[in-house]
Homo-oligomer: A and B are copies of this chain.
Amino acid sequence: MEKIDRRILKSQQAIQAAFLAMLVHEGFDEITVKSISEKANIGRKTFYLHYVDKYDLLDKIVDNHLKRLREICDHKKDKGFIEGTIIWFAYFQQHKLFFASLFRSESTLSFRKKLLTFIMGEIDKKLDSNTSINQTIDRHIILKFLGTAVMGVLESYALNETEDDIELVAKQVGTLVKRNL
């Protein structure tokens, strides 16, 4: 991998750290490029050297999370279905505040879209290894059905609408999904 200029790393780190801190305490919708720049202690112009706007910034952070999530999933793909679910739900718990902020916002549709795609992708993989009990139902329908279902539960968990701890949630979701494969 080629070497990246120190200044680029510093600027991006400062921007992302400032953004994440503000995201949790205020909300995504309240954040402005100006406020990010001030908190990051950089010129506003510098922000635009790295990102198109705050949506672009969020996009890149989300992409990075999903990339890491995929790595985790790939690394543990030989585990059983429920075990696997527990593993990636744990990552979700680790960044609960971050994801909660995004669920709370009304202008983070692309995040929901990406997360859904990710979940559907994971279920899709499991669908291959299991001989489907649903020959009568369109594969795409199953994926969308289960995908939105899982994302809905994640949202509930993030927004503290359930009392259960993450492992219990993961187990139950895993069971429900498996039943429908």
List the interface of chain A (C-beta within 8 A of B).
6, 10, 41-43
Contacts and interface: CB of A to CB of B under 8 A. Distances in A.
Identical copies of this chain, number: 2
A120 B42 CA distance: 44
Contact of A43 (B6, B41, B43): B6
The 4 closest A-B pairs by CB, nearest first: A6-B43, A6-B41, A10-B41, A6-B42
Contacts of A10: 41
A6 B46 CA distance: 12
A10 B6 CA distance: 13
A93 to B, nearest CB: 31
Contacts of A43: 6
A6 B41 CA distance: 8
4 contacts: A6-B41, A6-B42, A6-B43, A10-B41
A142 to B, nearest CB: 50
A77 to B, nearest CB: 37
Nearest to A14: B10
A42 B43 CA distance: 19
A145 to B, nearest CB: 49
A42 B10 CA distance: 10
Nearest to A10: B41
A101 to B, nearest CB: 28
A42 B41 CA distance: 17
